[in-house]
Amino acid sequence: MLENFEMHHDNLLISTDPDRLDLDAMTDMLSRAYWAKGRTRQVIARYIQHSLVFGVYDVGKQVGLARIVSDYTTFAWLCDVFIHEDYRGRGVGKWLMEAILAHPDLQGLRRFVLITRDAHGLYAQYGFTPLSKPEGWMEKVIG
């Protein structure tokens, strides 16, 4: 079992403690994300059990999140990155990326991937690049 990880900055906290996660806030935020339209509260509750979820909090109120799916040895997928609209443009997303990349259980991975439609500039600042060999990747889209 992974140990909880925390970082503090001013009034903000980033934590991987699943007990801090606010399922209602997460469902609300993700309902406004193009990639998570229609995702139900039940689906989010289930993936919390099977992912490393970073919550961003302002004095206890959840204002952001990111999720990692990983074997913690060779591979990690970064997904569901969302910062509440009221907190955008303040560097919170960048701080969240720094926290994710500093997490001790995500060190030494062979591959760290993500998919984005519109945030390439943000992720490039942290070393993410287009796939070097996209022809090797395959997918099966269900639903």
Summarize pLDDT for 92-124 with one digit per residue, the tens. Answer: 999 999 999 999 999 999 999 999 999 999 999
Calpha distance 81→35 (Å, rounded): 10
**Amino acid at residue number 6:** E
User: Is the Cα dihedral 44, 49, 52, 53 positive or negative?
Assistant: positive
- Portion of the chain with pLDDT greater than 90, in percent: 93
Summarize pLDDT for 126-138 with one digit per residue, the tens. Answer: 999 999 999 999 9
Calpha distance 100→76 (Å, rounded): 11
What domains sit in the chain, N to C, each tagged with a CATH number? Answer: 6-136 (3.40.630.30)
What's the confidence (pLDDT) of residue 2? 80
How many CA atoms lie less than 13 Å away from 87 in the CB half-sphere?
A: 20
pTM of the entire structure?
0.95
